[in-house]
Amino acid sequence: MRKRTLGRSNLEVSAVGLGCMGMSFGYGPAADKQEMISLLRSAVDRGVTFFDTAEVYGPFTNEELVGEALSSFRGRVVIATKFGFKLDPNGGPKWVGLDSRPQHIRQVAEASLKRLRVEAIDLFYQHRVDPDVPIEDVAGAVKDLIREGKVRHFGLSEPGAQTIRRAHAVQRVTAVQSEYSLWWRNPEAEILPTLEELGIGLVPFSPLGKGFLTGKIDEKTTFDSSDFRNIVPRFTPEARKANLALVDLLARIAKRKKSTPAQIALAWLLARKPWIVPIPGTRKLERLEENIGAAAVELTTDDLREIEGAASKITVQGERYPEQLARMTGL
């Protein structure tokens, strides 16, 4: 697979990465561990070198899974993980707040190193901006970890433009992770121009709209009771029915390009900027191969113009997050 460099850093990764969260958390019960280990190793065999996890996924179990699966590929893969959530002290499955105090960042780093079975964390994101801790203190704490050789690169997840600038002034930010896709384009207003100016890469999560842009979901689809999408306003049956217009657009382009709606959605992201690296998630080998195939889909200027023109006439229905989670983004 082709490689891309995240911004003006020296961090080179596969053009399409793999988001690992859904293997353990968020989209129903955790998948079979051995099957997911096999899938992760298959991804490496097919050229994927960029893997995304976090301590809160599980919690802990996703990092352990990724660490075990990729332990024999050390030096060949880049693993990103995250800090910043306060976890249930009683060992419950949910986070109970935010915590980006420097001493907590260090504790998370030490624990993640063990779970990931690595000597240094390749890319360490603040998972959500903590309004109670100045971002300069957060960046300084990661800077210390980089100086000590425990972390290689610093990242931010779902920050606002001013937060990015303030953090970057203390410690170079290599990558920003934000939701970005044809059905969530808000980063285009402030985030993308800021990243371009500062030389920071963008790692879009949910590049397939939490599965919706694949064309495999409609208003009749039901989700497991533990599936996060049950509480997402954009996934009400009414919103899904209205938003199928966007899937129809992708399907029309896909038919002409002899590809799939998912591949067109990912190819569109790849065509936006050379420093964008999407991280679609999956539990299935055939979907992994489909997503990887997007890197070979070439969208022409005319294709992109057609997508832009048609998409501009479609108003996506429903908020992307319930209110509690929405308040934690773009700080």
Out of 57, 125, 180, 321, which one is annotated catalytic? 57
Residue with tokens 């997508």: 307
Measure the CA–CA gap between 172 and 268, rounded to whole angstroms.
28
Query: Strands 50-52 and 95-98, how do they pair?
Result: unpaired
Model confidence at 92: pLDDT above 80: no
Q: How confident is the model at residue 94 (pLDDT cuts 50, 70, 90)?
A: confident
Burial of 223 per CB tally in 10 Å (0-12, 13-18, 19+): middle
Which 3 state secondary structure label does DSSP give 14? strand
The mean pLDDT value of the chain amounts to 97
Please state the rounded mean pLDDT for residues 119-127. Answer: 98
| pLDDT one-digit tens code per residue, 150-203 | 999 999 999 999 999 999 999 999 999 999 999 999 999 999 999 999 999 999
CB-CB contact of 158 with 177 (8 Å)? yes
Alpha-carbon distance 113 to 116, whole Å?
Answer: 5
Q: Which residue has the tokens 């190819």?
A: 267
Alpha helix locations (H) across the chain?
A: 33-45, 61-70, 102-116, 135-147, 161-170, 191-198, 237-257, 261-272, 285-293, 301-311, 323-326
Length of the chain: 331
Q: What percent of the chain has pLDDT over 90?
A: 97
User: Tens digits of per-residue pLDDT, 34-73?
Assistant: 999 999 999 999 999 999 999 999 999 999 999 999 999 9
Give the residue from 183, 175, 224, 230 showing the smallest Cα distance to 206: 183
Q: Concatenate the DSSP letters of all residues of 216-276 into one string.
A: ---TT----TTBGGGG-GGGSHHHHHHHHHHHHHHHHHHHHHTS-HHHHHHHHHHHH-TTB
Other beta carbons within 10 angstroms of residue 280's beta carbon come to: 28
Q: State whether residue 312 is helix, strand or coil.
A: coil
How far apart are alpha carbons 169 and 171 in whole angstroms? 6
Backbone torsions φ then ψ of 170, nearest 5 degrees: -95, -45
109 Cβ contact partners less than 8 Å away, ≥ 6 residues apart: 83, 121, 124, 145, 150, 151
Residue 57 is a catalytic residue: yes
For the full predicted model, state whether its pTM sits above 0.95.
yes
Cα 311 to Cα 108, 150, 155, 320: the distances in Å are 41, 44, 30, 17
Q: Which amino acid is at 191?
A: I
Tokens at residue 246, please?
């966007």
C-alpha–C-alpha distance, residues 236 and 255, integer Å:
28
Domains of the chain, earliest start first: 3-208+272-296 (3.20.20.100)
- What is the mean pLDDT of the segment spanning 14-39? 97
pLDDT of 89 above 90: no
Q: How far apart are CA 328 and CA 331, in angstroms?
A: 7
Helices H / strands E in the chain, number of each: 11, 11
User: How far is it, in rounded angstroms, from Cα 247 to Cα 302?
Assistant: 19
DSSP 3-state of 157: strand
pLDDT of residue 93: 76
